[in-house]
């Protein structure tokens, strides 16, 4: 009986058995290519198109190194995710892994944290949509959207209508099914990569090496501070793990999707950051659409318009996959009865957790309409770093508590990799503002109230431990 002071543990066998419950079963419709493209699609979004300017304002041209630093932390955590996702191919990502290694209380906390990461992340990305849409319309048609409906209150508007419309559109697509979602993602990712390649190829002809001097205007401190902010640009590879239950061959697809997407995106990010900071002084990249503005300021209007359109495509895709991740984590928690079981039931025809997706869509839409991008992005960063930390810790724990379990993918040099991943998370988290920590701790406190008032009494695993003779599928 796997019970600890942190609550009962859900064994790997119990986790895999739960994936076969008829009312809470997902369809296995994703190939390895689908999973890889999903990973690339969710990472390449508002981060590179929006946050490269904010990062350059702090680190100068050294923001390119900031992208490498953030990628290194993600890669260490990604290796840990890959081991878990291949070994336990079930929805829920870090939530599911924590349940199997540490206990129910920590599992709930990480699930609650992932709700923060994915829901706030989708909201933050969709907020950037209106800014790029406004720039595109102004660039191509000379039309400016009314600020009242193109920005949230904190950014000078009243209600970000266009961000809300994006959320509603992708939510409807997610409810319709994972297969159609994967197909849409494939096309959107292809378009986004074409745009970034145009940025790099065209921008190289405009680079002035003088813009790279000084390369580190604020020293290593500036590089580190920028990395803590643009870490948001890498968020998403962990969503690959939430789709493990929907992959045809999860033991092969998960490592390919997680590590492969990080590798592809890191190369793209470094190339774009190097070119853009070489084109114009870093201080001139402070607008809402810094990549496009770099070309616009040099008279390359057609390239700027192309980038605006590409950014809209990337943002749309990122919102879709972040909402996918949130619905799958909440689905796993509902199946375990840590959240109400009924809301996690899958649609008979489409095989998706439609009600949870509908709820996610509503919450994301409200936040996107009313909250500024900067406040949202910092909250996502701290939530993600917390999740990464616990996954790395979980891999270490399970290597000692269940060393004989078959592992289709093994984290290399785990005694070094996992501690480095945890240290990297702490390193970046300490550079986030205290107000972000305060909001995060308030959110966690609310989660603990929900856990002790509701979840701990209704949990399927807790009930099974109390009444081992009862079976309840």
The answer to whether the CB of 325 falls within 8 A of the CB of 170 is: no
For 6, phi then psi, to 5°, come to -95, 20
Q: pLDDT band for position 22 (50/70/90)?
A: low
For the chain, give the mean pLDDT.
Answer: 82
The answer to whether the CB of 181 falls within 8 A of the CB of 357 is: no
Q: Is it the case that residue 3 has pLDDT exceeding 50?
A: no
The answer to whether the CB of 387 falls within 8 A of the CB of 117 is: yes
pLDDT score recorded for residue 439: 83
pLDDT score recorded for residue 378: 65
Structure tokens at 195: 């745009």
* Nearest in space to 227 (alpha carbons), one of 102, 378, 67: 67
CA angle 312, 357, 443 (to 5 degrees): 90
Rounded to whole angstroms, the Cα distance separating 47 from 269 reads 9
The answer to whether the CB of 364 falls within 8 A of the CB of 160 is: no
- The domains found in the chain, sorted by start residue, are 3-429 (1.20.1740.10)
Q: Is it the case that residue 468 has pLDDT exceeding 80?
A: no
Q: Is it the case that residue 472 has pLDDT exceeding 50?
A: no
Comparison of pLDDT for 139 and 303, the residue scoring more: 303
Q: Rg (Cα) of the chain, in Å, rounded?
A: 22
Q: What is the b/e burial string over 52-79, where b = at least 16 CB atoms within 10 angstroms of the residue's CB?
A: bbbbbbbbbbbbbbbbebbbebbbbbbb
- Mean pLDDT, range 330-359, rounded to an integer: 85
Residue-wise pLDDT tens digits, 434-466: 888 888 888 899 999 999 999 888 888 777 766
Please report, rounded to a whole number, the percentage of residues in the chain having pLDDT higher than 90: 12
DSSP element (H, E) containing 95? helix 94-101
Comparison of pLDDT for 364 and 433, the residue scoring more: 364
Max Cα-Cα span within the chain: 74
The answer to whether the CB of 93 falls within 8 A of the CB of 111 is: no
Dihedral through CA 113, CA 118, CA 120, CA 123, nearest 10?
Answer: -170
Q: Which residues contact 322 (CB under 8 A, 6 or more apart)?
A: 42, 118, 119, 121, 122, 125, 236, 239
Dihedral through CA 191, CA 193, CA 197, CA 198, nearest 10?
Answer: 20
Q: Which residues contact 131 (CB under 8 A, 6 or more apart)?
A: 50, 150, 151, 288, 289
Most confident residue range from 52-61, 63-72, 82-91:
63-72
Structure tokens at 415: 């005694």
Rounded to whole angstroms, the Cα distance separating 366 from 6 reads 34
pLDDT score recorded for residue 274: 92
> Euclidean distance between the first and final Cα of the chain, in Å?
19
Match 């599911």 to its residue by tokens: 96
Residue-wise pLDDT tens digits, 386-417: 888 988 998 998 899 888 888 888 999 999 99
Residue-wise pLDDT tens digits, 191-247: 888 888 888 998 898 888 899 989 999 888 889 888 887 877 787 777 777 777 788
Residue-wise pLDDT tens digits, 258-307: 888 888 988 998 999 999 999 988 888 876 678 877 887 677 777 878 88
Strand partners, 42: none
- For residue 125, count other CB atoms closer than 10 A to its CB: 37
- Mean pLDDT, range 15-32, rounded to an integer: 70
Q: Which long-range contacts (CB under 8 A, 24 or more apart) does 407-413 make?
A: 407/83, 407/86, 407/87, 408/86, 408/87, 408/251, 408/252, 408/255, 409/82, 409/83, 409/86, 409/87, 409/251, 409/254, 409/255, 410/83, 411/79, 411/80, 411/82, 411/83, 412/79
Most confident residue range from 134-143, 287-296, 337-346:
337-346
pLDDT score recorded for residue 417: 94
Half-sphere exposure of residue 323: CA atoms within 13 angstroms, side-chain side:
38
Q: pLDDT band for position 471 (50/70/90)?
A: very low
Match 């009314």 to its residue by tokens: 146
Rounded to whole angstroms, the Cα distance separating 324 from 242 reads 9
The answer to whether the CB of 364 falls within 8 A of the CB of 119 is: yes
């Amino acid at each position: 009986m796997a019970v600890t002071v942190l609550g009962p543990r859900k064994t790997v066998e119990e986790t895999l058995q739960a994936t076969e419950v008829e009312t809470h079963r997902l369809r296995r419709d994703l190939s390895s290519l689908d999973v890889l493209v999903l990973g690339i699609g969710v990472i390449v979004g508002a981060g590179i198109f929006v946050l490269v300017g904010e990062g350059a304002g702090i680190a100068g041209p050294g923001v390119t190194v900031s992208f490498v630093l953030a990628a290194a932390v993600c890669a260490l955590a990604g290796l840990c995710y890959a081991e878990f996702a291949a070994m336990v191919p079930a929805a829920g990502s870090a939530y599911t892994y924590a349940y199997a290694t540490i206990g129910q209380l920590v599992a709930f906390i990480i699930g609650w944290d992932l709700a923060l990461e994915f829901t706030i992340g989708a909201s933050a990305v969709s907020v950037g949509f209106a800014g790029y849409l406004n720039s595109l319309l102004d660039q191509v048609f000379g039309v400016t959207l009314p600020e009242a409906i193109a920005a949230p209150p904190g950014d000078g508007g009243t209600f970000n209508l266009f961000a809300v419309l994006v959320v509603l559109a992708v939510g409807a697509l997610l409810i319709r099914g994972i297969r159609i979602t994967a197909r849409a993602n494939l096309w959107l990712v292809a378009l986004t990569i074409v745009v970034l390649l145009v940025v790099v190829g065209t921008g190289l002809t405009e680079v002035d090496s003088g813009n790279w001097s000084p390369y580190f205007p604020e020293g290593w401190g500036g590089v580190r501070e920028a990395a803590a902010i643009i870490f948001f640009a890498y968020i998403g590879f962990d969503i690959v793990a939430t789709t493990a239950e929907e992959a045809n061959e999860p033991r092969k697809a998960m490592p390919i999707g997680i590590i492969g997407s990080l590798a592809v995106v890191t190369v793209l990010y470094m190339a774009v950051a190097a070119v853009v900071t070489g084109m114009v002084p870093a201080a001139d990249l402070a607008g809402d659409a810094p990549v496009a503005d770099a070309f616009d300021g040099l008279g390359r209007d057609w390239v700027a318009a192309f980038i605006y359109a590409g950014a809209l495509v990337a943002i749309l895709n990122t919102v879709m996959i972040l909402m996918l991740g949130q619905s799958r984590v909440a689905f796993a928690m509902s199946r375990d009865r840590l959240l109400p079981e009924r809301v996690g039931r899958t649609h008979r025809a489409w095989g998706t957790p439609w009600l949870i997706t509908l709820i996610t869509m509503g919450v994301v839409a409200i936040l996107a309409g009313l909250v500024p991008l900067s406040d949202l992005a910092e909250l996502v960063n701290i939530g993600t770093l917390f999740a990464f930390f616990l996954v790395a810790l979980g891999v270490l724990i399970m290597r000692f508590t269940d060393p004989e379990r078959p592992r289709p993918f093994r984290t290399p040099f785990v005694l070094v990799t996992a501690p480095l991943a945890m240290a990297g998370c702490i390193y970046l988290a300490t550079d986030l503002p205290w107000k972000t920590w305060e909001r995060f701790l308030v959110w966690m406190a609310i989660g603990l109230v929900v856990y002790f008032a509701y979840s701990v009494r209704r949990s399927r695993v807790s009930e099974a431990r109390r009444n081992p003779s009862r079976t309840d599928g």
